[in-house]
Structure formats: C-alpha cells, structure tokens
Structure 1
Amino acid sequence: MAISDWQAKRRSAARQEIVDAAWSLAREHGLAGLSLRDVARHVGMAAPSLYSYFDSKNALFDAMFADGNRAILAMEWPKAGKDVRGTLRNTIGFFVRQAVADPVRHQLLAERTIPGFAPSEESYALAGQVYGLLTRPLEEVANPSQDDLDLITTVITGLINQHLANDPGGSRWVRLIDDAADLLVPRLEARAKPTTRRRRQAMS
C-alpha cells in the first residue's frame, strides 16, 4: 500500500472516530450542547488537532448529517406491499420508527434546530436518496403526485413530533401508524396502477 493511501485511510478513520464521538455526546447532551473541545477530549485529541479534520462546528455537523443519512440508507428499506394500504403502512412505519429510535439523528436530519447550519450539496444529495425510500415503494403501486407525497411526509412528521414531544419511549403515537396510513388509502388508491387494482380485486 502506498504511503499516501495509508495516510488517507488513517485520516478517514480518524474523521469517522470524531463523528462517532460527536453523535455519542450529542445523544447525551443534545445537539446544542455539542462542543468541539468536548469532542476532542472524548477521542483523546488536543482541540487544535481536531481543527485539522473539521475547521468548524458546522463542518462537523455536515459530516454527521451525511453519516446519519448513510445509516438510514444502510437499513432494510421499506418495500412495496401487495396493495396501496400495505405499502403506505410499510413506508410510514419505517420512517416513523427509525426517527423515534434515534431522536437526535432525526433532529439533525429533519429539523432546523441549529442556527446557521445548512448541509453541503454532497451531504444533501444523500438526503435525496433517503427521500427515495419514501417515493420508490409508493411509485410501484400508484402514481402519487407531489401533493400526495407532501401529505404523506406531513403525516410522518406529525407522528414523529407528537411522539418525541409528548411520549418519548412510549407507544401512544407509534401505535397509530397503521391508522394514520389508512387515512391516506382512498387518496392513493385513486391513483393506483392497473396492476395494483387487479391484484386487489383478486384478493377481494
């Protein structure tokens, strides 16, 4: 292995260690309480040395934003069901459950909780791939409009926010996932693909 390759891998490993430490501290103290000095101390590094990897807190947040989206992309993706109802339940359930399982990641990826922070174009592209997890299964069974997708994300966000604000660790809103999805079934079934309609009729 060339020295330059070894150095690049070592630097990449160090950056990931810093990102992992940042997540650990953010989950303990909140995103607002994250400081580069604490992160440096957590990884056994002098604060000035950390700046050679991330020149600002926003640069670290950007790396965390990318890392969080990659973590979601690595999960088992929601799959299209046999019909619109099953697909909506799978999709909404996936997004709600991954968010409530890691509230801090959800806050960084989906809420504007950090003043002045905006993800880089490269990191935001990963968020676009995550959005594909929402659209792809639905487009297998229907032809959703952008308004349909916006309404679905509103339902997802509402369930997540209600859970995190009022019943973290509980099930009051999580257990409503299927009921919430079913409210959207008539709207999406109006745009169901012919193959989906035939499959539904065969099951009736």
Structure 2
Amino acid sequence: MLGETKRDRVAERRAATRREILDAAWAQAREVGIANITLRDIAREVGMQPPSLYSHFDSKNAVYDAMYAEAWAEYEAHALAQLDDVPAHPRAAIHRAGRVFFDFAVADLARHQLMNQRTIPGFEPTAEAYAPAVRVLDHGIAFLASQGVTERADFDIWISLIGGLIDQQLANDPGGDRFSRLLERAIDMFADAVGMPPLPQKHPTRRKAGTPR
C-alpha cells in the first residue's frame, strides 16, 4: 500500500539480539559482580559463539557503555515520572527527591556501582552514554536551585550525603533498612544547614469529650 513503511527485519533482528546480550550482561553482573562479567559467559548465555558477539559489541567496555547509558536513561525516566509533581514546601520537595534516588540506587547493587562508582578499571563512558547522566545532574542542580539551594558546594554536599547513605546501606545492610531509616534525618540536617524553613507543625486532633483514650 502507498505510504506504508517497509520493515527492516535485519535491523529488528540485530536490535533484538543486542537486547538479549544486554539482558544477559545485567543478569551476569547481578550474579558475579559488575566488574566480573565476561563476553564468553554472555555469549554462552545467549547461545552464540564469542566471535559472533563482537559483531554487536566490539569489546567488553562497549557492553559496559551500553549498560551505563541504559541505567542512567532508566533513572532519568523514573525521576521525571516520580518528581513531576513534588510538594510545594522546599523541605518536603527535597525529601521526595532524595528518597527517589536512594530507593532506585539500593534496588540494584550492580547498576548502582556502574552508574555511580569507578568499579571497573579502565572504563570511561563515551560522551553519548554519559549524556543521560549529564542531563540528570543538570536537572538536579536546577531542582535544588528551585528550592533555594543555589551554591554548587551545597549541591556537592547533597549528592555526597545521599550517595554515602546508599553506599552504607548496600555495604552493611543489603536488603534491610538500617540506613534507609536515617535518610529523612540526614536530609533534615542538610535542610537546616542551608537555611530551609521547617515543615509546618501538625497539631494533634482535639479529642471529643466522652471518647475513650
């Protein structure tokens, strides 16, 4: 039919194979650690010979690069959805933002290490893969500025504070909530330090006469 787009089945098959390779790489990273994945094991998992895998990724760092881009793009989409409608009060707003990043990070150790730590010797993301991380960073700076936090040093303290609690949670209480429970307190300490107004006090509901205690 006129106007109908012709499907590129070769490109579709390559995209599907690439997706399968990345899924296998993530599965392996979660099993043996992000720095310990091998192209041989990934190829075996997807049912191909290692030389065939090189037609999709020319090195292990190329696999890491695609994983890095994917992880930050996933967080970018997640954050945009979760922070589309933040509370009006600045302190409540940064509580929401801190919780969104904290929970995303602690949900997946391998992903967090790739995104936020220099765990893999010799790996540096390409500019293309790094682009989602830059957008997230810029959005974070703009977000804190919109809440009255405009000093870059304060932003650096903010990301160090949240990142430190994430690292402690993953290292010392994986699957638990020891450091997760400290997040609100830590954010309030930061908010106090940068001069954010406190949240309005909630007054207890007055008990009606005659109702039991």
* Band of TM-score, shorter chain: 0.7 to 0.9
Residue 168 of structure 1 deviates from its aligned partner by 0.6
Q: Deviations over 1:115-160 (max 9, x none)?
A: 0000000011111122245334323221421111100001011101
**Alignment match, 1:6:** 9
Contact 1:84 1:189 in 2 (8 A): no
CA-based RMSD of the aligned residues comes to 2.1
Q: How has the CA–CA distance of structure 1 residues 143 and 152 changed in structure 2, closer, same or farther, with 3 Å as cutoff? A: closer
Is 1:86 aligned to 2:92, yes or no?
Answer: yes
Aligned counterparts of 1:108 and 1:120: Cα–Cα separation in 2: 14
Query: Residue 187 of structure 1 aligns with which residue?
Result: 193
* Gapped regions of structure 2 (runs ≥ 5): 203-213
For 1:52, give the aligned amino acid. S
Where does residue 40 of structure 2 map in the other structure? 37
Task: Report the Cα distance in structure 1 between the residues aligned to 2:47 and 2:77, rounded to whole angstroms.
Answer: 29
Name the CA distance, whole Å, in 2 between partners of 1:189 and 1:16: 47
Show structure 1 runs of 5+ residues with no match.
191-196
Rg larger in structure: 2
Which protein is richer in helix relative to its size? 1
Residue of structure 2 in register with 1:73 after alignment = 76
Q: Is the 2:144–2:155 contact (alpha carbons within 8 Å) kept by the matching residues of 1?
A: no
Q: TM-score, normalised by structure 1?
A: 0.87
Greater relative contact order structure (CA < 8 Å, 6+ sep): 1
- Distance between the aligned counterparts of 1:71 and 1:158, measured in 2? 22
Work out whether 1:178 is the aligned partner of 2:181: no
Contact 1:84–1:188 (CA under 8 A) maintained in structure 2: no
> Offset of 1:171 from its aligned partner?
0.5
What do residues 12-59 of structure 1 show as CA deviations (whole Å, max 9, x unaligned)?
A: 222121111100111011112200011011111111110000010000
TM-score (norm 2): 0.83
Indicate the SS of the match to 2:194.
Answer: helix
In structure 2, give the amino acid aligned to 1:40. Answer: A
Aligned amino acid, residue 184 of structure 1:
F
Q: Partner amino acid for 2:61?
A: N
> Distance between the aligned counterparts of 1:188 and 1:9, measured in 2?
51
Work out the percentage of aligned pairs sharing the same amino acid. 43
Instruction: Specify the alignment match of 1:194 in structure 2.
Output: none
Q: Tell me if the contact between 1:77 and 1:133 (Cα under 8 Å) persists in the aligned partners.
A: no
Equivalent position of 1:103 in the other structure: 109
Write the letter of the residue equivalent to 1:56. S
Give the equivalent residue in structure 1 for 2:158. Answer: 152
Aligned position for 1:17: 20
Count of residues paired in the alignment:
194
1:193 match? none
